[in-house]
Every structure is written in C-alpha cells, then in structure tokens.
Amino acid sequence: MKKTALITGASSGFGAACARTLAEKGWQLVLTARRAERLAALQRELSAQTPVHTLALDVRDAEAVAASFASLPPEFAEVDLLVNNAGLALGLEPAHEASLEDWDTMVDTNVKGVMYCTRAILPGMVARNRGHVVNIGSVAGSWPYPGGNVYGATKAFVQQFSRNLRADLLGTAVRVTNIEPGMAETEFSKVRFKGDDEMAGRVYTGTEALQPADIADIVAWVASVPARVNVNSVEVMSVHQAWGPLAVDRS
Ligand code: NDP
Ligand code: 8X3
C-alpha cells in the first residue's frame, strides 16, 4: 500500500515540486493550498501516476484546518508525511517602516499555520507510532539580514518548534525535520514584493538560485532514510550564496 504525504502550499514552488517528486517515488498525495485551480491542474498532471486528493485550504484558519484534516477520505486519512511548506515573506522594509498587517500575515501563516497543521496531524502519527513532519524553515531562521525582521523570526520559530516537537516525540517512531533553504527561485519574491515582477526578477538575475526540485529531492531523501534515523535539520544554499561580514556603522 502506498504511503500518504500531505503537502501544504502545493500550488507553487517547493510544494508543487514536492508533489511531483514524491509522486515519482511512489507516495500518494493530499495537496493543499488556497488556489484550488492550481491544485486541480497538478492533480490532473499526477493522477495517472498516483492517487491525489486536493483540499482548498487557508492554513491560517484553525477551524478549517482541524475540520478538513479530520475528514480526509479514508484512503488518505493516515498521513505518513506532513510537509509544512505553506509560507511567505511580505516586504523587505526595515522594522520601523514595515507594515504591521504584513507582520500579522507572516505570523499567522508561517507560525500559526504550522502549529495548526501539525497539531491536527500529529495525534494520528503518535497513535500509529509512524510518521514524519517535515517543516520548511529557512536560512533566515538562523541568519539575520536587513529587512528580514519578522520573516526571519517566524522561521526561527519553525526551527525551534521542530526541535521541541522531536523532544516531545522521543520514545515514538515519529520523525521531525526542519529544512532550511537559502535563496530559491519560486514565486516567493513575487509574493514578497507584492506582484512587482521586476523587483522579484532582480533577486535571481545574474546568479543561479536553488530550484524547487532541489528542495523536493531533500524532502524525499529525509523521508527515505532508515526508520532509526532522524535528520534533525538540513541547511542548504545555492553555491552562489554565502554569509556576509558583520555590519559596522562608521557614519
Ligand atoms: P511560493 O510563493 O512559490 O509558494 C508558497 C506556497 O504557500 C504557495 O503554494 C501558496 O499557495 C502557499 N500559501 C501561502 N499562504 C498560504 C495560506 N495562508 N494558506 C495556504 N497556503 C498558503 O514560495 P516557495 O515555494 O518558495 O515557499 C514555500 C516555503 O518555502 C515557504 O514557507 C517559504 O517561506 C519557504 N522558503 C522559501 C525560500 C525561497 O527563497 N524561495 C527559501 C527558504 C524558505 P496559495 O497562494 O495557493 O495559498
Ligand atoms: C527565503 C530565503 O534569504 O530570502 O527564506 O529569506 S531569504
């Protein structure tokens, strides 16, 4: 019988790539995001390969997350792999100029969405003593940069939440991994710059960023290692990205 992966944010970027890679590796899929038409297109693409169930869902809606995960069709109800991928950055302004509304949206999606999805799926995993939660964190959760303020802080939450989950799950076979990518070419920058394609394009111009399939391969790998192995975290950057020096004000 096929194992079931539930992917949030499957309508684009890493999430869609995870769907394609996991389908190839023999997983059946529950694909969720807000844009139902994108999920339907992905379902049409993949359903010859593997069973796919789609769920239009906003991860910020605690009740909708709990209700829709509790009423998955029986053949998809036992989730073996939860990929908490839905997330976003909004804006790159310094903290004193940033929009509070953007900050709320990032906290609601990247922090609370991950909490809601995990809390809904985890009891079944523990009861079955089987399962894996893969969170998509970011290098921004460990390394500060100007304008990263709340986005980076939400990913620091994801990092520590992942570790604390594993602490709670000791004694079970349920695994937790935090994947921490650097710059990757998805719709991330288009969302961050609110539809400004030129600004978004500039992020990736003249360099070679990570591609969605690179992250999907890592998700598939951490899920495929022997059951005794828990990959706690994977930090990954393009070879064209590295850390900068500490900043000093000499004005
Ligand atoms: P994309 O913008 O391409 O994809 C983001 C996905 O998240 C979309 O499928 C979107 O679906 C979904 N999403 C956003 N808000 C919600 C919501 N409220 N409810 C449900 N789904 C939502 O970006 P990426 O693929 O790059 O982003 C995926 C994850 O990777 C994010 O958590 C991001 O922070 C993280 N990340 C990205 C990096 C990058 O450089 N690209 C690097 C490090 C981490 P829809 O709009 O249809 O709801
Ligand atoms: C996305 C990577 O560096 O834009 O999490 O924050 S970065």
Find the CATH number of the domain harbouring 228. Answer: 3.40.50.720
Answer whether 184 contacts ligand 1 (Cβ < 6 A). yes
- 37 lies in a domain? yes
- 89 lies in a domain? yes
Report phi then psi at 57, rounded to 5: -155, 135
Which amino acid is residue 73, in one-letter code? Answer: P
Answer whether 138 contacts ligand 2 (Cβ < 6 A). yes
Nearest CA owner, ligand 1 atom 23 = 188
Average pLDDT, the chain: 98
Sheet harboring 132-136: ordered strands across? 52-56, 28-33, 4-8, 81-84, 132-136, 175-181, 233-236
Q: Structure pTM?
A: 0.99
Q: How confident is the model at residue 82 (pLDDT cuts 50, 70, 90)?
A: very high
Model pLDDT for residues 182-226, shown as the tens digit of each residue: 999 999 999 999 999 999 999 999 999 999 999 999 999 999 999
Closest CA to 81 of 196, 179, 192, 205: 179
**What pLDDT does residue 12 have?**
98
Concatenating the DSSP letter of every residue in 40-104 gives HHHHHHHTTTS-EEEEE--TT-HHHHHHHHHT--GGG-S-SEEEE----------TTTS-HHHHH
Q: What 3-state class would DSSP assign to 224?
A: helix
Domain that holds residue 186: 4-236
Q: How confident is the model at residue 20 (pLDDT cuts 50, 70, 90)?
A: very high
**What pLDDT does residue 199 have?**
97
What is the CA(184)–ligand 2 centre distance, in A?
Answer: 8
- Cα separation, 217 vs 198, in Å, equals 29
**What is the ipTM metric for this complex?**
0.99
- 219 lies in a domain? yes
**What pLDDT does residue 23 have?**
98
- 105 lies in a domain? yes
- 178 lies in a domain? yes
What residues act catalytically? 151
**What pLDDT does residue 152 have?**
98
**What pLDDT does residue 41 have?**
98
**What pLDDT does residue 204 have?**
96
**What pLDDT does residue 45 have?**
98
What is the CA(250)–ligand 1 centre distance, in A?
Answer: 38
The percentage of residues in the chain with a pLDDT greater than 90, rounded to a whole number, is: 100
Planar angle of CA 32, 20, 6, nearest 5 degrees: 35
Mean pLDDT over residues 157-175, rounded?
Answer: 98
| Total domains in the fold of the chain | 1
Model pLDDT for residues 31-77, shown as the tens digit of each residue: 999 999 999 999 999 999 999 999 999 999 999 999 999 999 999 99
Answer whether 42 contacts ligand 2 (Cβ < 6 A). no
Answer whether 88 contacts ligand 1 (Cβ < 6 A). yes
Model pLDDT for residues 112-135, shown as the tens digit of each residue: 999 999 999 999 999 999 999 999
- Cα separation, 56 vs 68, in Å, equals 9
- 245 lies in a domain? no
Ligand nearest to the CA of 137: 1
